[in-house]
Amino acid sequence: MKSPKQLSLEKKIFKMVSGKALKAAEMLINDEEIGYLQDYANTVSIKRLHYNDHGPVHMRKVVLNSLMLIDLLHKAAIKFSLEKEDIGGFEDSKVAVLIASFLHDVGMTIGRENHEQMGIVLAVPIIERLLNRLYVNDPKKRVILRSLITESIIGHMGTQKIHSLEAGIILVADGCDMEKGRARIPMMMGTESKVGDIHKYSSSAVQNVKIEEGDKKPIKIIVVMKESVGFYQVEEILLKKINSSPVKSYIELYAGVTGETMKCYL
């Protein structure tokens, strides 16, 4: 059964898509195999590894972040890689971003180490199944989008160099999911110190992450926190991902503790 948070995020996602992207979103959200993988990713991450959320809510938040990012770039008349290379249009890029967002962490069903590479093994058959339905009469585009989505999944940790704007969006969108809710379950499960606890405590300090239109660049990201430990999330995770992303030149980044002056990173 889906949680109220999942259902709320899905409503927001549906409001941001139309056409082929809407069809893709419906397929992704209603796919049983994807649902099972996302649920089990949380079981492995939280119960087995005592890490933070990598399940259905996280993946939907990354989808929503990705859609906000791609729409802001499109509004600023930025051409995505598929369009610049005369392969497809904005709708195709949006479909690729949607699928990659929904599947980027399925490798967590195997474990944390190299989960972006492990995820490809699980994701490719699903990607092919979805693209076969979305692009029935366009085998060339199916092949190209499969590679683009694969690049997006394998590059979402910033451990492998990526080159497309579409993949760069997934990298940043994933880094933006750092709000306190993501650490709620592991924080409730116990207080015994463990390796990796800094992720829980720093994430729980972040109150809000806003993605909006920038003043000088297409995108502005604002991270608001209640304690300075939240800067760990900004500097060690989000900023590193942005620095590895082809989207970096289009982003303004601000972070700070409530009531204090915001620090400008980009």
Other CB atoms within 10 Å distance of the CB of residue 216: 6
pLDDT digits (tens, 9 = 90+) for 116-174: 999 999 999 999 999 999 999 999 999 999 999 999 999 999 999 999 999 999 999 99
User: 221: helix, coil or strand?
Assistant: strand
- Record the pTM: 0.91
Question: Nearest 5 degrees, angle CA 69-CA 75-CA 77?
Answer: 110
Pairing assessment for the beta strands 219-225 and 263-264 based on DSSP bridges? unpaired
- The yes-or-no verdict on residue 84 having pLDDT over 60 is yes
Strands 219-225 and 251-257, sheet pairing: parallel
How far, in Å, CA of 8 to CA of 12, rounded? 7
Q: For the chain, where are the E strands, in sequence order?
A: 206-213, 219-225, 251-257, 263-264
The DSSP code sequence of 5-58 is HHHHHHHHHHHT--HHHHHHHHHHHH-HHHHHHHHHHHIIIIIIT-----SHHH
- Write the pLDDT tens digit of every residue in 11-66: 999 999 999 999 999 999 999 999 999 999 999 988 898 777 788 999 999 999 99
